[in-house]
Structure 1
């Protein structure tokens, strides 16, 4: 059982009290609202577990066996409330583990506990999914639908979607980043875009001549609006992140582009194309707004796999032995 720090005669702190103090601390440290929501949601499920087990009244009752019980139950779809009994994925279970680790480490730093009940508990990170970019043919088909809309008189829709595709392809922006772009953020003359990234971190990305031209053409159709947001619906209202995602989803459906992913898949495409040309993961890290190289390494690994598969076309032992795949 985790040891109580300081005066052992102090009133016990309930898990709910400590969770609220933890979230208050994160707000004071200016964590992003999405991050706060993520922690609150995960800890709410942990609190539900603790109440079921009779451990919620005192945070010191939560030992490593309780943590193991919680994580094991997660894999069976427990502690989720009456409306969601579907077992979470291995990635989701690992996210809960990381949430608990951050929470209990905070408890130790703040003097609530002498040690974390997660000491000695290891949950292996699930292997990362294979990065799947859009192919050149996918991009051509998306743009062909945009051109068709323009020819048929849907100038705003076609120009907007064409600009959106090319801006995403040229910058690798996240969904929230592209949806929140304002007119004042874009310098078309120099092709520079100021981006508000995760955690309120600003960075500058660049647009090439093709994307810049497409964005300018769209802005002419967009015209003057009462709001500063770049992306608008056909009714002139600003597109929220969900609206941008829906626009890309519909465009994919109309173009017959298969495969997973919508907006974020453009980020994968940009990253791999950049590495093919520049071969510099440190520069890519800056452009993508990654705080560490950990995420960027996914793209270097994916590029290595791609190179290996291409090399196999020339070195296939079976093809070389039986002569298949060779001319003549």
Structure 2
């Protein structure tokens, strides 16, 4: 996993620029994996070219799919080069995710050159319920023996992620001072230990299910400190993003869910429920804070009847006005 133990230590990456992250990745590939000099040289050329294409000093956390897509769509690239660059960037950002250098892998929003657009992976309500029951059953089976993180705290985290669409890092860092149960909103904002993906704060509405979960957790609080974390793990310790993903993946395997389901898929799950519930795409975009509607439109195929109904309503309304 790199140069530190994510289960015992705090993540040491508070904010690397793209250049710095590239250098750290190349050192890792060379020192830890022993790759050939030519392979390292190929990676260096691609990744340094990409670093040159984004604003100077850009924090790698703030790289999004648009940055990468624009780099791959350059007119001077042949198709074979586009595909090679895609694979190398995919490896780089995958490593950044494993090392908790980035909270969200921007490659998930990038279409592989020459490949058809792939729908976002998400859990259906039945799969989500099955996953939660699998966790409960596993804990009951082990009884009082707690090891390797088999504890019920992760159920609340999974539900909350699906109800709100918050990113992994946003949930791990969420403090009670950012939660306003009276208004039914929470604020996603940076703290001393965490930077939001865009660097901006945002107010997120709490649906009834999310609000009920938070009220239950509020009743269990023993402190009134607004800086206290909302979600904690074993022994009330703060959540480590890497460990959270690790445990989530473990339970997905126990539940026999598809291999490509990750903790980030819960964000897609939220989007899928909103779209299937006939929430307009632009509203889903605002809820999930997507950079463009192009990202959100990946979910449009989930509710084609909604799209048709909206078109029909628009035409019918216009025709009605003409007839009047």
* TM-score of Structure 1 vs Structure 2, range by shorter chain: 0.5 to 0.7
Q: Does 1:143 align with 2:132?
A: yes
User: What CA deviation, in whole Å up to 9, does each residue of 1:95-128 have, x standing for no partner?
Assistant: 7653332369x9xxxxxxxxxxx98523376245
Residue in structure 2 matched with residue 39 of structure 1 by the alignment: 19
Give the distance between the partners of 1:264 and 1:45, measured in 2 at CA.
22
Partners of 2:165 and 2:270 within 8 A in 1: yes
Tell me, which stretches of 5 or more residues in structure 2 are unaligned? Answer: 1-12, 59-72, 84-110, 190-195, 308-324
Q: CA deviation at 1:249?
A: 2.7
The CA distance in 1 between the partners of 2:220 and 2:135, in whole Å, is: 14
Structure of greater relative contact order (alpha carbons < 8 Å, 6+ residues apart): 2
For residues 48 and 270 of structure 2, the distance between their equivalents in structure 1, rounded to whole angstroms, comes to 30
Please give the secondary structure, in 2, of the residue aligned with 1:199.
coil
- SS in structure 2 opposite 1:194? strand
Calculate the TM-score normalised by the size of structure 2. 0.56
Using the TM superposition, give the Cα deviation of residue 215 of structure 1 relative to its aligned residue in structure 2, in angstroms: 3.0
Structure 1's 164 and 247: CA in aligned 2 closer, same or farther, altered over 3 A? same
Task: Render the CA deviation track for 1:122-162: whole Å, top value 9, x for unaligned.
Answer: 337624543121122221112224555589689x9866333
Aligned positions of 1:220-239 closer than 5 A: 220-221=219-220, 223-224=222-223, 228-239=228-239
RMSD over aligned Cα atoms:
4.4
Check conservation: 2:151, 2:234, Cα contact below 8 A: no
Q: In 1, Cα distance between the equivalents of 2:162 and 2:126? A: 13
Task: Find 2:121's aligned residue among 129, 132, 143.
Answer: 132
CA shift in 2, pair 1:119/1:271, >3 Å? closer
Equivalent position of 1:183 in the other structure? 176
**Aligned equivalents of 2:290, 2:176: Cα separation in 1:** 24
Kept in 2, the 8 Å contact 1:182–1:229? The answer is yes
Give the C-alpha shift of residue 39 in structure 1.
3.3
- The 1-side partners of 2:302 and 2:235 are apart by 41
| Conserved? CA contact 1:163–1:214, under 8 Å | yes
Relative to structure 1, is the Cα distance of residues 139 and 184 closer, same or farther in structure 2, using a 3 angstrom cutoff?
Answer: same
Per the alignment, residue 283 of structure 1 pairs with 283
CA distance in structure 2 between the aligned counterparts of 1:183 and 1:217, rounded to whole angstroms: 13
Distance in 2 (alpha carbons) for counterparts of 1:102 and 1:285:
24
Using the TM superposition, name which of 156-165 and 130-139 deviates more.
Answer: 156-165
CA contact (8 A) 1:145 1:254 kept: yes
Distance 1:150 1:218 in 2: 22
Show the 5 A alignment for 1:1-328: 34=15, 36=17, 38-42=18-22, 81=30, 83=33, 85=35, 97-102=49-54, 121-122=76-77, 123=82, 126=112, 127=115, 128-145=117-134, 147-148=136-137, 149=139, 160-196=153-189, 197-221=196-220, 223-224=222-223, 228-300=228-300
Kindly indicate whether the alpha-carbon contact (under 8 Å) linking 2:275 and 2:302 is maintained by their aligned counterparts in 1.
no
